[in-house]
Amino acid sequence: MTSCYLSSSCFRFLGFCCLVASFMFLTTGCYGGKTVEAYTLATGGSAHRGVEVIQRYNCGSCHLIPGVPGARGNVGPPLLFFSDRTFIAGEVPNTTENLIQWVRFPQSIEPNTAMPNLGLSEQEARDVAAYLYTLR
């Protein structure tokens, strides 16, 4: 009986197994070149109400917003895949609190923005944020 410790084919097999295991470990948690976050963004809002707020304030007159009937504007940026974005308005990291601040008081983040202050309440902004974070 030959010992596996001396067989070169055993070493090749073990090396191959290590390579496969390393690949599987390194690719776990990756999605399309982006790391999948291990948390859910807590907005304190309702995505369903967010659609209603977006419609009520007519955000779709400036933005293309998937899932919102009639939201086909082309003045502001399209909000496709919003949850995958790194920054809001190219200025601040895409976090819940920054998004709520942006939706409520856009000039506080970017003074020369064309986005108007619509007078949203904090809860309305949380609802809008909840909806925007569903856009993947």
8 Å CB contact between 61 and 78: no
pLDDT of residue 42: 86
8 Å CB contact between 122 and 100: yes
Q: What is the mean pLDDT of residues 106-126?
A: 95
Residue 72 has pLDDT above 60, yes or no: yes
CA atoms within 13 A on the CB side of 105: 6
Nearest residue to 117 via CA among 55, 44, 46, 59: 59
- Please name the amino acid found at residue 86: T
Q: Report which DSSP code applies to 64.
A: B
| Token code pair at residue 94 | 């895409």
How far is 13 from 27, CA to CA, in rounded Å?
21
pLDDT of residue 28: 45
Residue 114 has pLDDT above 90, yes or no: yes
pTM, 2 dp:
0.70
8 Å CB contact between 123 and 45: yes
- Please name the amino acid found at residue 121: S
